[in-house]
Amino acid sequence: MSPVYPGSIDAAGQRATLGVLGGGQLGRMFVHAAQRLGYFTAVLEPDAQSPAGLVSHHHIQTNYDDPAGLAQLAHLCQAITTEFENVPAQALQTLAQTRPVAPSAAVVGIAQNRIEEKAHFAACAAVSGVTCAPYAVVETTAQLQAVQAGRADLLPGILKTARMGYDGKGQVRVKTTDELAAAWAELGSVACVLEKMLPLTAECSVLVARGWDGQVVSFAPQRNVHVNGILAVTHAYEGNMPAALADRARDAAVSIAQHIGYVGVLCVEFFVVEDGTEHGGLVVNEMAPRPHNSGHYTLDACDASQFDLQVHTMAGLPLPQPRQHSPAIMLNLLGDVWFDTSGHLQEPDWHSVLSLPGTHLHLYGKVEARPGRKMGHLTITGPDVASVQTVAYRVAGLLSLPGLDAI
């Protein structure tokens, strides 16, 4: 990979342009980071009103697997990435025939399938020292019956679809073998993973950036609180979790990225389990081959954000070790904020929120608010953890945000 420097012009007179498959909020923040450095940007996304497409130099409005659209993206761009893991792997393979693509179709494919993902985590465990929760694959009736007959140790558990599950979707909690059979039928008898429920005390995630040359940098682990399967609060400051556990999570995330030769920004999510278990207090849950909601605080609390590092990795630029200069708490803003208790549309009290010190509002440019839809986030920064927590409490109260008791 030869570096693509910002503002450069190639022999054909084409300006340095970076492309992204997907037009959501992650694509939008990537576009902003690339443009701030001086790159032109191109977005391939079928939605005419997509958050990223509206702010990019080029918006190719086609489906992700459209040959003509992919050819146009490859023609415009010197390097290409994706903003979500469910992009068709074949599209990434097609683009990689003529352009550097990071992350690759192969590693995105691992993240698209929980069965492959868990096998990867198990393979990394010997080096990382952190493995996933006990699980069994359920793809056929015979496998279901085998689990019912011989894997009572996995109950109670969570049955998760192997593909297309996110934000708590595609998951059913089960306590008995009968509930397991009913849940598999409810999910359409598709390929699934039955994962043993563990005694969780917290959740955390680690963001890693790895370049084409193997250079790796990372952010400190952030502690996350989910409500109804959707991220509500991220705590990003020193002391947000025990130091030894944070070091293990960080080392494990780097190991997972190295094991598959990952290029780009990778988020690895972990469960913190009760001490005294055979898992040593930490198990790996899943990975996202892209920047992550839990890393949005880096836009305001660090000297280089996760999106800056995404640009650096795909363009072949050096990777500076990011430095967090302020403690931070990130609050997710779902569409529920735009509705009162009677279900009527309302304007959130931005005046009161933005009058508070250290508040950084990020709205994603989505034209319609809907309950459960990610509309933006608020990051609160300050000189110390206590002041950040105080403001976070006030913001959460003003906007009636969930997860308040976890701040």
Report the alpha-carbon distance of residue 260 to residue 102 in Å, rounded: 13
Report the alpha-carbon distance of residue 309 to residue 210 in Å, rounded: 9
275 is in an annotated binding site: no
203 is in an annotated binding site: yes
197 is in an annotated binding site: yes
Strands (E) located in 69-198: 79-82, 135-138, 157-161, 171-174, 192-196
285 is in an annotated binding site: yes
Rounded CA Rg of the chain: 21
167 is in an annotated binding site: yes
Q: Which residues of 359-370 are buried (b: 16+ CB within 10 A; e: fewer)?
A: bbebebebeebe
198 is in an annotated binding site: yes
H/E element, 203:
strand 200-210
Helices and strands in the chain, H and E counts: 12, 17
Report the alpha-carbon distance of residue 121 to residue 103 in Å, rounded: 18
343 is in an annotated binding site: no
324 is in an annotated binding site: no
382 is in an annotated binding site: no
Q: Is 225 helix (H, G, I), strand (E, B) or coil?
A: strand
Whether 222 contacts 236, CB under 8 Å: yes
Residue whose structure tokens are 């708490």: 329
287 is in an annotated binding site: no
169 is in an annotated binding site: yes
Annotated binding-site residue numbers for ATP:
114, 160, 165-171, 195-198, 203, 226, 285-286
Annotated binding-site residue numbers:
114, 160, 165-171, 195-198, 203, 226, 285-286
